Amino acid sequence: MRRAYSSFPGSEIEVTLTMYDADSLAVEYIEDAVNFEYEIKVLRLMSGYSMGLIQVGGTASVTVTKPQDYIKSSEPLSGNLRIKCIDYTGEQNYSTSFSYSSRYYDIENKIMLGCDRFVDRVQVFPSGKFAYNENGLQLILTFRGYDNDPGQFEIELDEGTTIENQANIIMLG
């Protein structure tokens, strides 16, 4: 088994090739193979089914096997979020709402708009855990020029927001 398609940042699929000989045994070398099986995995969560149209070019004999029961993706993250900010006195404030698809500098600005003790003192970075915001959201927060211990920040869901892949915040600083 080997990768048949090199995924790259932003790629929404992963393709794996398994080759078989005439006795249906998996083989490593293309010269020994008579059957080729490609497994296509969708990396980005989506609403609905992940398989639509598959087109085959050329004169090869091709059989396409659809997933059993047309496997659906987990529902992607949707709606709006906000961040609960807790300062060293225990006072709670909330960022203004932001979409799951917001850029990190926009989230940083939303925190500063709603949590006045953290104006120009917080930076937001992606953790890299999720390739797409639709799959989940995990943030790293760093604090600069804030001499006290900030409380635990939390992502909260606004009304109408669903989340199957739990969103997290990791604070460093």
Encoded amino acid at 156, one letter: E
Mean pLDDT, rounded, of the chain:
77
Q: Domain residues of the chain, as ranges? A: 2-70, 80-171
Judged against a pLDDT cut of 60, whether residue 148 lies above it is answered with yes
% of residues, the chain, pLDDT over 70: 73
The predicted pLDDT at position 25 comes to 95
pTM of the model: 0.61
Instruction: Pick the closest to residue 36 from 14, 63, 56 (CA basis).
Output: 63
- Which of residues 97 and 169 earns the better pLDDT score? 97
Ramachandran area for residue 89 (φ above 0: left; ψ -120 to 50: alpha; else beta): alpha
Total length of the chain: 173
Judged against a pLDDT cut of 70, whether residue 149 lies above it is answered with yes
- Which of residues 110 and 118 earns the better pLDDT score? 110
